[in-house]
Structures are given as structure tokens and as C-alpha cells.
């Protein structure tokens, strides 16, 4: 198992155990009242709406974490498209255990598949352009690793995973430093970029700019990427035109990222300007969950 897979499994186990505690899953009074302790069933998780699968292994892990004797079979791979009525996962074993873990499994599977589904919609609208759809750090506490994995299942890619992974100099950093000041002919943006390169020489360095004047200053300092947040299409096109030509057509420098106000209605127009990255916070913080349910198929 790779390090990323292990990290995702660890994150999933922590969430699953917390959810069981929150749900008092070990004391399901309904099942204990009406279901015999030795009752065994076959059940399935079925889609009630179309979508893109993500978190199927996590959903199965919820059942086997609660009761290792349960047996799960995955019917949808990560990133696969499904339609209403599709069986995503089947479970066999103790009825009480299946019912106790049901809600945790459905919550995670529905949420993660919702993220993958929304990401796929954005990715499909940018097909044929150079633009890549990125997630952000606007994730739910404790769910970041799984939510970013769901974005990848939908066809997107991950921006920095945490604050230690890359340097991203944003407007507030520059305000705190004193935006607009100059030192020895350099703008504050140039100073900040050069400091970041010096202090963190092996880190990816990106800077946010608010207008074309700041964009020009950032170009002089040569960061790895420049973030255009809430820019008009007209100014985005101007920035793309100002970027120096690169001998490496697939890897221009600096990379240009657009964020803010990106919707399914305008994402293709943004992508066609020639930017490299489009980051979208709503992929993780506002994606609608996919409607799923658990159905008992019969006794074992």
C-alpha cells in the first residue's frame, strides 16, 4: 500500500470511529429490540441518482471496521459513472452490525461521490483546453484526504494539501507586510517572492495578484505560479498574453491559476483563455451529496 493510500485509510478509520461514537452505534436499541442476535442478511447500497463513484472502499471499510466478520463486495470502481438503480456495494453478515454501520457508510459514500460528480461536471466542460481543475483547502475538518481523493476520482487534481506543502503568498500576506511599498526599486510582491525562494528554496512558490500592474511585478520575480483571483475574462486574457513564451509548450512558466466566481456556466470561457489551472472551492465545501440507500436483499 502506497503512502497516500495509507494516509487515506488512516483518515477514513479516524472518521469512521468518530462517527460510530457520535451515533452510539454499539447501542442500536431498535435493532436490539426487533432483530435476533444471530440474524444474518444480504444487503446492498443502491444509487437513487446518477453520479460518479468515490469512497466505495471507505464505505466498505465502515462495515468491516464495525464488524470484521462482515463481507463486502465492491461493484463500482472509483471514478466510474453510475445511474439510478446501480448497485454500488453488497454486504453480507450479521443484520445488527449492518444496520449499525449503515448511516456512517452512506454518509461518507454519498458525500465523496457528490464531490467526484461535481468535479467531473467541471472537468468535462474544460475538455479540449489546457486548463486543469483543482481543489482547494476549503475542506471539512478531518475529511481533507478523502475529499481530495474524491476530486481526483472526478477528474480533477489537488492543489496544495496543507500549509507546509507549498508557498502561496496571498493578498492578506502582502497587506500584513505593507502592500505597495518598494525597496531598492522592487515592489513588495517581488520582495515577498524573492524572500520565499530564499527561505524555502525547494518549495513551489505562488503569489496572488489583484491587477495587471501587480501581475507584471510578479512576472519579474519569476514565481512558479501566479493566482488571478476574481479577475474578469478580459483581464485574464491580457495576463495570458503578457506571460513570456516558454520553450516547453506543456509547461509554461509561470503557471497561471484562476479562482473565484467559477461556475459551470463560465468555466469553459475561463479555460479557453489559456490559463493552466482553475481552482474551485465549492468542489469540496458545497458539492451536493448523491442520494443512496441500503436495501435488504434477503436473509443469509
**Residues designated as active site:** 103, 138, 170, 208, 229
Please tell me the distance from the alpha carbon of residue 223 to that of residue 26, in angstroms, as a whole number.
53
Please tell me the distance from the alpha carbon of residue 195 to that of residue 238, in angstroms, as a whole number.
27
Tell me how many degrees the CA angle 221-227-233 measures, rounded to the nearest 5.
120
Residue 297 sits at φ, ψ, to 5 deg, of: -95, -15
Residue 268: partners with Cβ closer than 8 Å, 6 or more residues away: 125, 126, 129
* All cell numbers assigned to 200: 524555502
CB hemisphere CA count around 217 (13 angstroms)? 22
Amino acid at each position: 500500500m502506497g503512502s497516500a493510500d495509507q494516509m487515506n485509510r488512516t483518515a477514513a478509520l479516524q472518521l469512521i470511529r468518530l462517527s460510530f461514537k457520535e451515533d452510539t452505534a454499539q447501542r442500536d436499541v431498535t435493532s436490539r429490540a426487533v432483530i435476533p442476535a444471530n440474524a444474518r442478511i444480504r444487503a446492498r447500497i443502491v444509487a437513487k441518482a446518477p453520479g460518479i463513484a468515490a469512497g466505495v472502499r471507505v464505505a466498505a471499510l465502515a462495515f468491516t471496521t464495525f464488524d470484521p466478520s462482515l463481507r463486502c463486495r465492491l461493484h463500482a470502481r472509483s471514478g466510474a459513472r453510475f445511474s439510478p438503480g446501480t448497485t454500488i456495494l453488497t454486504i453480507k453478515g450479521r443484520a445488527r452490525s449492518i444496520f449499525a454501520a449503515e448511516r456512517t457508510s452512506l454518509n461518507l459514500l454519498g458525500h465523496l461521490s457528490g464531490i467526484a460528480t461535481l468535479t467531473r461536471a467541471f472537468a468535462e466542460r474544460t475538455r479540449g483546453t489546457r486548463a486543469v481543475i483543482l481543489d482547494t483547502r476549503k475542506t471539512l475538518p478531518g475529511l481533507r484526504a478523502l475529499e481530495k481523493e474524491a476530486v481526483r476520482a472526478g477528474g480533477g487534481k489537488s492543489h496544495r494539501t496543507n500549509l507546509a506543502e507549498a508557498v502561496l503568498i496571498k493578498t492578506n500576506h502582502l497587506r500584513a507586510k505593507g502592500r505597495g511599498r518598494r525597496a531598492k526599486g522592487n515592489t513588495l510582491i517581488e520582495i515577498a517572492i524573492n524572500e520565499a525562494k530564499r527561505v524555502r528554496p525547494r518549495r513551489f512558490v505562488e503569489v496572488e495578484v489583484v491587477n495587471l500592474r501587480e501581475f507584471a511585478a510578479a512576472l519579474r520575480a519569476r514565481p512558479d505560479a501566479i493566482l488571478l483571483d476574481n479577475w474578469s475574462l478580459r483581464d485574464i486574457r491580457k495576463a495570458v498574453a503578457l506571460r513570456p513564451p516558454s520553450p516547453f509548450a506543456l509547461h509554461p512558466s509561470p503557471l497561471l491559476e484562476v479562482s473565484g466566481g467559477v461556475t459551470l456556466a463560465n468555466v469553459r470561457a475561463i479555460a479557453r483563455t489559456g490559463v493552466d489551472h482553475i481552482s474551485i472551492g465549492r468542489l469540496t465545501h458545497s458539492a451536493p451529496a448523491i442520494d443512496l440507500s441500503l436495501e435488504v436483499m434477503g436473509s443469509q
